[in-house]
Amino acid sequence: MTESRTEAPATAGQIAASGDTGEPAFYYPPQELVDQSNIMAYARERGFADAEALRQWTVENSTEFWADMARRLVDWYEPFNTVLDDSEAPFYKWFTDGKINIVHNALDRQVKTWRKNKLALIWESEQGEAKTFTYWQLYKRVNKFANVLKSMGVQKGDRVTIYLPRIPEIMIAMLACAKIGAMHSVVYGGFSVEALQTRIVDAQSKVVITADGGYMNGKIVELKKITDDAIKHTPVVEIVIVVQRTGQEIEMQPGRDLWYHDLMALPIASPKCETEQVDAEQPLFMLYTSGTTGTPKGLVHTHGGYQVGVATTLHFTFDIKEEDVWWCAADPGWITGHSYIVYGPLILGATQVMYEGAPTFPYPNRWWTIVERYGVTILYTAPTAIRGLMRFGEAWANRHDLSTLRLLGSVGEPINPEAWRWYHRVIGQGNCPIMDTWWQTETGGFMITPNPTTPLKPGSASRPFLGIDADVVNELGEPAGDDEDGLLIIKQPWPSMLRTIYNNPERYLEQYWDKAPQGLYTAGDSARQDDDGYFWVIGRIDDVIKVSGYRLGTAEVESALVSHPAVAEAAAIGLPHEVKGNAIHTFVILKNGIEPSQDLEDELRAHVGTMMGPIAKPEAVNFVPSLPKTRSGKIMRRVLKSRALGLPEGDLSTLES
Ligand code: WTA
């Protein structure tokens, strides 16, 4: 067998051509998996012959479907009567008159059943230490920390910023906020000073939760130091709670900084804490995401609709059963982690694995040792990780018993067919269907995804999820033809959709609803649909770059560059990269009298790393005398990209002459 090669994300054209290589066009799931799947059980109960017939019914009867899910999968303090309130569309509201709390369903109700002693979480550190938490142990810790937050005056509706590594305390902190009705705003631990500061300021968080440091790839990430720098000029922050992870020396500012373990040892940290009964539409969290402008958007999700969405999608797509060991290898700091590490698995009462560190630490078989050690049955990760591991060759995986796996998943960017096939053949040993889930921070849960009964085409996310009406339209808003590129849109609301952009409802309207006609949700992705109705997502059409599946705004990278004293102007674009999917390339005009040099290039790359975080470090800094701009002065990144790729530059009629 020849070693796999990586390639840039595929287009539908490449897939069609791949038929020539003798690869099957469809990969069919094992019949036993289909017969025993959660989705077939529901289809049978509803009188449908297969999952596709069920799906079509749910799209036409979406409110009935979602109401059914809201009653089956989660418990309410007070039941809802209204399913969908569209009186102020597109500010949709779901289950409006119901009372609920996501923590009630994630923890409180579990500890009243036999699941009290079931493992909720198996955590493995990068150094190989393991810690386990039963539902009861997690429940008690969340209660204690919720009492700590309350004692600091954190109340319903307040925002708390969480900046932690991938350790159990990130889950505990998020759940504790939710329990008392406060909103968490998690900032990914790979972000740095400027990114953290803008997010704290926008959220106006009085409390920040961080750690002394975090481990990644055998090195320490100085989270507390970054936090100190970020809040130096941010008077809104009154309290910083610090989890001790590395034990390294750090500065603690008296009166402001408090150790987590000291607080948890206080009498005030009682293991009993009533869960706040909130309206379904009470905001649960905000999560910042990059958009077209420099200021990141705080996307708001709510207690009711969000939990119905994540529980339903996880139940049907990944077919979670009582005996499964679920492993979502994402970071809790991104939406994937919010929905499918912190909330979804707990609501369904699953056992899950969380791993602190890098996939190749200390060797490229680390992930496979984890699958083997804990008997992982479902693994959910990103194409970039697959491509990265593929490069080391399959021998690393072949050394391990991966036979417990029954389903695999992919998220974050299009998966190229070659990586898909490697994942399917080497990791899934040909038996595990791959759920290629297309969704966004905005959507809260899966939108276009196979289910365990779907015949799969490598590289396609297949069809919309139950109750989701997706389409591809051209610029006039008309349905695009088969295999014709267009805008990916969603035609009807769904419970886990974002409700607004924090403090910026106008931007919510403009960004998502004013682009396609008749109030359709525009995702910001281009896609095409083939004649089987399968969706092929191509990529972002806005100024968002997906680097290793991480979502970064060109504007944030540019503003980090311009904050360097040598830089007059800067532009950032994404160019294809073998492993990362896309890499950031930048174009910089230096200030008068400053000479370009290799040292300066290195310095600028490092500067972006310090300001934004290592994930945003540009691959290249090109020094240029000018940048292509429109007559109104907007940088035409499209032109830069075409030039870099040697493609035609397209319509230049608006280019400044
Ligand atoms: C991209 C991540 C192709 C897409 C959950 C989307 C995907 C953006 C897929 C959202 C997929 C996500 N196939 N592209 N399976 N999943 N994307 O908000 O461009 O970090 O708009 O949410 O990721 O990124 P976000």
Distance CA 177, CA 317 (A): 28
352 contacts: CB under 8 Å, gap ≥ 6: 120, 121, 122, 325, 326, 327, 328, 341, 345
Ligand 1 atom with the shortest distance to the CA of 415? 13
Distance CA 594, CA 581 (A): 33
CA nearest ligand 1 atom 20, residue: 551
Ligand 1 atom with the shortest distance to the CA of 440? 22
Measured from the CB, is residue 496 less than 6 Å from ligand 1?
no
Measured from the CB, is residue 540 less than 6 Å from ligand 1?
yes
Model pTM greater than 0.85?
yes
Q: Within 10 Å of residue 363's Cβ, how many Cβ atoms?
A: 10
**Residue 411, strand partner residues:** 437
Distance CA 585, CA 573 (A): 5
* Cα separation values, 116 from 105, 133, 167, 277, Å: 13, 10, 21, 22
**Residue 539, strand partner residues:** 526
Ligand 1 atom with the shortest distance to the CA of 539? 19
Choose among 414, 387, 386, 379: nearest CA to 546.
Answer: 414
pLDDT at 476: 84
Measured from the CB, is residue 523 less than 6 Å from ligand 1?
yes
Distance CA 356, CA 123 (A): 8
Between the CA of 440 and the centroid of ligand 1 the distance, in Å, is 5
CA nearest ligand 1 atom 10, residue: 440
Reduced 3-state DSSP string for 358-412: CCCCCCCCHHHHHHHHHCCCEEEECHHHHHHHHCCCCHHHHCCCCCCCCEEEEEC
Choose among 110, 259, 112, 108: nearest CA to 179.
Answer: 108
CA nearest ligand 1 atom 23, residue: 412
Choose among 79, 22, 299, 87: nearest CA to 185.
Answer: 299
**Which tokens is 543 given?**
């100024």
Distance CA 63, CA 77 (A): 21
Longest dimension (CA), the chain: 75
Q: Within 10 Å of residue 304's Cβ, how many Cβ atoms?
A: 28
Q: Within 10 Å of residue 258's Cβ, how many Cβ atoms?
A: 19
**Which tokens is 241 given?**
């709670």
Low-confidence ranges of the chain (pLDDT < 50): 1-19, 657
Measured from the CB, is residue 439 less than 6 Å from ligand 1?
yes
pLDDT at 373: 98
